[in-house]
Structure formats: structure tokens, C-alpha cells
Amino acid sequence: MKPLTIIYIIIYILHIVLGPYFIYSLIYYKKLKYKSKSLTQILKRCVWITYVALLFIAYFNEYPDTDTFYAALIISVSATLGYYLKFYESKYFRLGIIEHIVLLLLPVFILYFKYGIDLNIYNISKSTLIAIIFVFLSFYIDQYIYIGGRDVSLI
């Protein structure tokens, strides 16, 4: 496995266990406010679109092709847009949106250029379909898996 892939898997696990904004808390020696307190909370966090985007980026890094690029891009953009729509009134909004840009959007584009992905060679396939279905499901069940924020359900 490539080092960046391992780093992203570790970041995914740390986010699930230590909660959102944990990086900020560690940098500024703050108490971890959102640490997981139950198995239910851990299971819900496992499918938070932002955290799943970390796994899609790891997958794209490990298997760089047009399909995995589009899958990582779809999930990352959707997670960032979803965060914006759901939590723009949160006191942590600025911190969260910066985290989404730095951890999700920038790496997708950096890896795109690093691997020289050719967007002309593409047929929709498994990874992209899974990403699209996951995005729709995430927006459909957002009120169940997330605490607080606005309802961004698709229906």
C-alpha cells in the first residue's frame, strides 16, 4: 500500500473515534469535544459522507484511473457541498469547510495531476456508480446519521 493511502485510512479511523475537528483540538490543545461515546455513534460516523470521501481518495491513490478519480471527485465535492448546506450556521463552519477543502478537494486534484489522469478515456463503471448511489443515500438519510444542522434530504 502507498504511504498516502495508509495515511488516509488512519485519518478515517481517527475521525470516527475522535470525532470531527479533532485535528484542530490536538493542534490547539483543546479537549476532544466530539469523541465517540457509543457503538451506534461509531457506526453512524463510518458512513458520514466526509469520512467515506477519505476512503475514496485512498482508493483513488491506490488505483489511479479515470473511474476512481471521478468517484473520489463526486464524493469529495458532494461532502463539501453537503457540509456547506447542512452546517453553514454552525460555530465551527469555517473550520469545517477549510478541513473539507484541505483534506478532500485539494488532494483529489493534486492526485489527478500527479497520475496524469486522461479524462478522454472513460466509461462509467463500478466505482463511479457506487459513489453516485452513496451520495444520494447520504442526502436521503442525513437527518438520521448526523446530529444537528439543516435538513438537506433530497425529498
pTM given for the model: 0.91
Percentage of residues in the chain having pLDDT higher than 70: 96
Rounded distance between C-alpha atoms, residue 39 and residue 27, angstroms: 27
Q: Kindly tell me the burial class for residue 23, based on how many C-beta atoms sit within 10 Å of its own C-beta (0-12, 13-18, 19 or more).
A: middle
From CA 44, how far away is CA 27, in angstroms rounded?
Answer: 26
Residue 98 scores a pLDDT above 60: yes
CB 56 within 8 A of CB 78: no
Reported confidence tier of residue 153, pLDDT bands at 50, 70, 90: low
Amino acid found at 25: S
**Residue 22: which residues within 8 A CB-CB, separation 6 or more?**
14, 15, 32, 34, 35
What value does the mean pLDDT take over residues 95-120? 95
Averaged pLDDT, 4-31:
88
The owner of cell 460516523 is 45
What is the pLDDT averaged over residues 3-11?
A: 97
Decide if pLDDT at 155 tops 50.
no
Which amino acid is present at 133?
I
